[in-house]
Amino acid sequence: MHQPTTGTREEITIGVVGASEIVHRIMSVARETGNPSWRLVPAVYHDEKDAHTQAMKIASRIDVCLFAGPLPYDVATTKGDLPVPATYAPVGGAALYGTLLRASLDGIFDPLRVSIDSVPAADVEAAYREIGLDPSGVHTQQYAGPESAAEFLDFHRRLYEAGKTTGAVTTVPTVAATLAEAGVPSLKMTPSGITLRNALQTAALMGSGAKLEESRIVTMIVQAHRGAFPAHASPSNYWYQEMKLSLHRELLREARPMDAAVLTRDEHSYLVVTTMGSLNLATDDLTVAPFLGRISAALGLQLEIGIGLGRSTREAELNAQAAVDKASAGAGTTAFLVGPGDTVLQLPAARQATAPPPLPSRDSKSVDVLARLADALDKRGDDDRVVDAETVAELLGVTLRTARRMLHSLVDEGLAWPMPPARSSKVGRPPRLYQLLVEKVPSEARAARD
């Protein structure tokens, strides 16, 4: 596997495999993000069947492979294992809305009488009803593997020639080109900009230079209980949108210590993508899911969380779906984890303890240390409350050894949370970061210092 370039910032080399147009678009989106740690290597093919060949040509120079869609990903991975992790840009979502709007504005075809491939029928129907259109004249054929994609061309052409449709929407470039040659009005649906940014972020996470086991990809599905949201909520429903934003905000807050990416999955659920090492820290080695209780309490909402492990992105997501199905049958107090080999674990939101752990006393030395650190950080205008031993030594005027001992005491008393090790390409162990839980400082202690 390609080793990230040594420097002050860890560099992740992402191989982008796809047709020319989408590869150039992904490269453009990457440039717009301005992330200096991403280096992209393009691999363009003219036919999806060449995806594996093109990926292997660049495999020795990259950390991770990002395919332009599920079809080239499946073609490449079924022909043999790639020597690097791989993922793909998903289809559907915002791209479907944009494609239908373009067809309507440009008069390419009637969106009410069209054939659409790759996207599940339920997603298409939900999208149409969301924008107030009748989906009864829309024909769909879902992607279920390379064999199903081979039938897309005949699917579109047969319906058009029978007069049942006025055009086609496809995700496969070769199908789009053949339809154009046959005179069938069509549009190629490509992932939206935000989808590509999320895919790049996921690819970068997978390609990080951590140890193999610690960097194994983990996918979580977080969804509200089916009774929390209306069945067909309108985008103009203020309460509905506010609840979605609140859930997204809480997930971002919880994702930060896990170094995770939060992606919108559908109208009622989100994907959280992280690594095995970060998940172990956040769940105390897969024994408890404290984030489930914290988010549920903050929103007053029953959540269902499924965690999936796998040897690939697709396997992890399929296992996450199986896990969230198990969670939906529960009472919202347990997250489920499904992994390879029929592994199933239950992670309660809180430990079953005979008595709650004692809270630090108000005159505790650790509480005083935390209050002093909070004051010093306030004066710096630092709202993140994330420190390492060197920062503590500087702020409190103590030795580095004493600072480390103080941080360990804060962790022992539940006043700080050790964060996942920062990724670094520098030689040596990276500094350990700690999230200070300033909210646990009694108000009297802060007032006394003021």
CATH architecture of the domain covering 365-449: Orthogonal Bundle (1.10)
Beta-sheet pairing, 64-67 with 86-88 = parallel
Q: What pLDDT is stored for residue 9 in this prediction?
A: 45
CATH number belonging to domain 210-352: 3.30.70.270
Count CA atoms within 13 Å of residue 165 on its CB side.
23
Q: What pLDDT is stored for residue 51 in this prediction?
A: 92
Q: What pLDDT is stored for residue 360 in this prediction?
A: 43
Q: What pLDDT is stored for residue 158 in this prediction?
A: 94
Strand partners, 12: 38
Q: What pLDDT is stored for residue 440 in this prediction?
A: 63
Give 1-90+192-208's CATH code, choosing from 3.65.10.10, 3.40.1160.10, 3.40.50.2300, 2.60.40.10: 3.40.50.2300
Can you give the residue ranges of every domain in the chain? 1-90+192-208, 94-188, 210-352, 365-449
Q: What pLDDT is stored for residue 6 in this prediction?
A: 34
Say if residues 102 and 53 touch (Cβ distance below 8 Å): no
Say if residues 99 and 105 touch (Cβ distance below 8 Å): no
d(CA 276, CA 210): 10
> How far lies 89's CA from each of 73, 103, 129, 172, in Å?
9, 23, 25, 13
d(CA 343, CA 325): 15
Question: What global pTM score does this model have?
Answer: 0.48
Over its length of 450 residues, how does the chain's per-residue pLDDT go in tens digits?
Answer: 344 333 334 678 899 999 998 999 999 999 998 888 889 999 999 988 899 999 999 988 888 899 998 899 988 988 767 888 888 988 877 788 888 889 889 999 999 999 999 888 888 998 898 888 899 999 999 888 888 888 999 999 999 999 999 999 998 888 999 999 999 999 998 888 888 988 898 888 777 643 344 447 789 999 887 665 555 555 555 566 777 788 888 888 888 888 788 888 877 789 998 888 788 888 887 888 889 888 888 877 788 999 998 767 788 888 999 999 988 887 678 899 988 767 788 889 887 654 444 444 544 688 888 888 988 888 888 877 888 889 998 999 888 888 888 888 887 777 877 765 554 444 445 677 888 877 666 654 555 555
Q: What pLDDT is stored for residue 1 in this prediction?
A: 39
Q: What pLDDT is stored for residue 331 in this prediction?
A: 67
Q: What pLDDT is stored for residue 427 in this prediction?
A: 43
Beta-sheet pairing, 416-418 with 343-348 = unpaired
One fold for both 1-90+192-208 and 94-188?
Answer: yes
Q: What pLDDT is stored for residue 226 in this prediction?
A: 67
CATH number belonging to domain 94-188: 3.40.50.10660
